[in-house]
Amino acid sequence: MQKELNTERIPIKMWLEDIEAGALEQARNLANFPFAVSHIALMPDCHQGFGMPIGGVMATKDVIVPNAVGVDIGCGMCAVKTNMEDIKRDELINILTAIRSMIPLGHRHHKKSQDPRRMPPVGDKGKMPVVMREYNSATRQIGTLGGGNHFVEIQKGSDGGIWIMVHSGSRNIGKQVADHYNRLAVKLNQKWDSPVPRSHQLAYLPVDSREGRQYINEMNYCIDFAFASRKLMMDNTMGVFRSFYGSGLEFSPMINIAHNYASMEHHFGMEVVVHRKGATKAGRDTTGIIPGSQGANSYIVRGKGNKDSFESCSHGAGRTMGRKEAIRNLNLAEEVRKLEKKGIVHAIKSQRDLEEATSAYKDIARVMDLQRDLVDVLVELSPLAVIKG
């Protein structure tokens, strides 16, 4: 931990040296949220979000806050190691072409519904009205990458192996659930004359209320959907690799971890709802994934179970520029040069792609250094080729 702020109702513990004004204001709002307990934890990739900063961790008693989970519920990472030790550039280019034919990118969906066995089981349909409304559409969205910072990347590990990594979320079904329950929470908070200013964007639902229980059910379904979607993309990518390298190709068990969710956990002698928004679980011996920006290294890590972070760590590098700011201010030729100097088969083709340029993000090496008390690095992964949505 780098510093602690004690000017609010509860402390703010920070694993970063500098914090932008907007993110700090949001952290202060969290620290004054009447249901927050113990302290607020800010990871080294922290930056401003909606209501709660990305890279923030908050524990609450008795309530859950949809905006402290966010719209991409269950967004996360998965990674698989192959038994390959090398891969040629021309092979990488051909593999990326084949992956793109299997995985719809950006706003594109599958033309047909995927195997229903790929979808998480629904259970009691009455407990998940939004999921049921969006279910049929989701059968065509499962196994699709989406846009923004989501990616499929092929990497070379410090352990000598070739790795595959996927970063994706819950697509539209997660957004619909998030938006529905945030609107509902805002309406109910007004009815209850909540002491939390609406401008803080921290409307809440009691966990023992009908609305709170429904949100938890639907949130958990979206977490399962996001995992199932990553698994389908990983399976399809592994299938592409097998088509190139044959049945002798082997894959390690898949590592998976989410970074936008809330869960009931025990901390500091209390049962609390831990909200992780752009933060990942780093319990003792938990295996996790911390990706860098496009063109930067990523890390397979083992959690140390640090109590002060609510056993959490960063979910990535964290932005230094907003998307529009990056498109407006970064130099396309310079960003392409940085990637090509490293020999990376990249996804920066136009000015618009600069929203995901390396320079739009923090230095991942420094981010990792700031959280040495949260995780140990198991494998460092250097990018070879990347597909972006």
How many whole angstroms separate alpha carbon 209 and alpha carbon 59? 18
Sorted by sequence, the CB contacts under 8 Å of residue 359 that are 6+ apart come out as 320, 321, 326, 330, 335, 338
CA distance 79 to 92: 17
For residue 118, give Cα distances in angstroms to 106, 260, 324. Answer: 21, 21, 36
Among the listed residues 379, 41, 59, 102, the one whose alpha carbon sits nearest the alpha carbon of residue 237: 102
User: How many CA atoms lie within 13 Å of 274's alpha carbon, on the beta-carbon side?
Assistant: 26
| HSE of 389, CA atoms in CB hemisphere, 13 A | 22
- Looking at the DSSP bridge assignments, the partners of residue 40 are 12, 58
E-assigned strand segments in 88-172: 151-157, 162-168
Query: Whose CA is closest to 172, among 259, 77, 68, 71?
Result: 71
Please tell me which residue in 109, 150, 180, 315 is annotated as part of the active site.
315
DSSP state of 173: H
How far is it, in rounded angstroms, from Cα 354 to Cα 347? Answer: 10
Q: What are phi and psi of 266, to 5 degrees?
A: -110, 120
Catalytic residue list contains 315: yes
What is the dihedral angle through the alpha carbons of 171, 49, 45, 305, rounded to the nearest 10 degrees?
-80
**Cβ–Cβ < 8 Å for 297, 382:** yes
Please classify residue 16 by burial: count the beta carbons closer than 10 Å to its beta carbon, then call 0-12 exposed, 13-18 middle and 19+ buried.
buried
How far, in Å, are 266, 296, 375, 379 from residue 157 at the CA level? 35, 13, 18, 6
The SS3 call for residue 19 is: coil
Ramachandran region of residue 247, left (φ > 0), alpha (ψ -120 to 50) or beta? alpha
The residues carrying an active-site annotation are 315
